[in-house]
Copies of this chain bind each other. A is one copy, B any other.
Amino acid sequence: MKLAIIEGDGIGKEVIPAAVKVLDALRMDVEKIPVELGYGKWERTGSAITDQDIDILKSCDCILFGAVTTPPDPDYKSVLLTIRKELDMYANIRPIKPLPCVNGILGRNDFNFVIVRENTEGLYSGIEEIGEDASYTKRVVTRKGSQRIAEYACKLAKSRQNKLTIVHKSNVMKSDKLFLDVCRSTAAAHEVEYGDELVDSMAYKLMVSPEKYDVIVTTNLFGDILSDMSGALVGGLGLLPSANIGAGHAFFEPVHGSAPDIAGEDLANPIAAILSLKMLLEWHGNMTEAALIEEALESTLNRGIKTPDLGGSFTTEEVAESIVDHIRIK
């Protein structure tokens, strides 16, 4: 496996090295290609990401990414959005699953759902008219874009509880009718049980009865909002991994950002990055190694080895070391 490794900025420089330690402990045959991107690179070179970087990323089997900080540059184009776009990674997958010995806001662990977010269009089209007195953004919903994300979500549902919830706002935006119709007919064709929810109502219901959902499919910005919000159910943004999948490309990243406020203090929770590595291994077919990470993480949490965001007093490194130790003795 040829793996690009992007630490990025802020706590990216701590959680990715932690995840790489875990990867090393698994003694797999991996060629690691470090790639520098983000604010630091922008300060040093004037650009946060180059065409050459994109070519390197395209040449790798998959990518492990930390987080980047946005430079104070009005012309700055988001590194994350650039990569998603250039590699046409149309599916953003965010599993929302409780961890042992970690309490979310509900103090419950009877839920387990996945948000499948369309990752290339919607309000992320980049088509804007910016004026002094009025500014516009074009929200784009295409049949092709809706079709491929619906296919992805249905396949995922079939490997789980076979239940799909389509989230939209078609009572206000007629454009969402296209998304809804395509998702409905795709689900019917795949014999996946489906229903739909308005995004406002879904935000409420996810907080009140998260156990009712299996796979949720939605447009780009709705997926962005619902997934961060769902971090509260699990116990923090420091716990959520994600995958960005395209034809032939796969990119794994913690949902959290670069958190400049706590960067450099060895305080950041490495779990989201380590779970992103676990998703990467699953995607690549290394199921045994992925299961080993999960087991090691559970054992670490069961022993109370947690960073301060979870009420613990351990460092980023100590959490990673504990996971590594568990893997080594296996």
Q: Which residues from chain A sit less than 8 Å from chain B, CB to CB?
A: 70, 78, 81, 105-106, 123-124, 128-130, 132-144, 169, 171-178, 199-201, 203-204, 207-208, 221-222, 224-229, 231-232, 236-237
In the bound assembly, the distance between CA atoms of A134 and B179 in angstroms comes to 10
Is B173 touching A128 in the complex (CB atoms < 8 A)?
Answer: yes
In the bound assembly, the distance between CA atoms of A171 and B132 in angstroms comes to 18
Residues of B within 8 A of A221 (CB): 169, 172, 199
Chain B residue with minimal CB distance to A131? B178
Q: Nearest-CB distance from A272 to chain B (Å)?
A: 13
Q: Select A136's contact among B128, B139, B199, B225, beta carbons within 8 Å.
A: B139
Interface hub of A78, A132, A137 (most chain B Cβ within 10 A): A137
In the bound assembly, the distance between CA atoms of A129 and B207 in angstroms comes to 34
In the bound assembly, the distance between CA atoms of A139 and B236 in angstroms comes to 31
A-B contact pairs, 11 of them (CB 8 A): A70-B171, A123-B139, A124-B172, A130-B178, A133-B144, A134-B140, A135-B178, A137-B138, A199-B225, A203-B225, A204-B231
Is A138 touching B135 in the complex (CB atoms < 8 A)?
Answer: no
Known: A106-B105, A199-B225, A207-B207. A135 touches B232 (CB 8 A): no
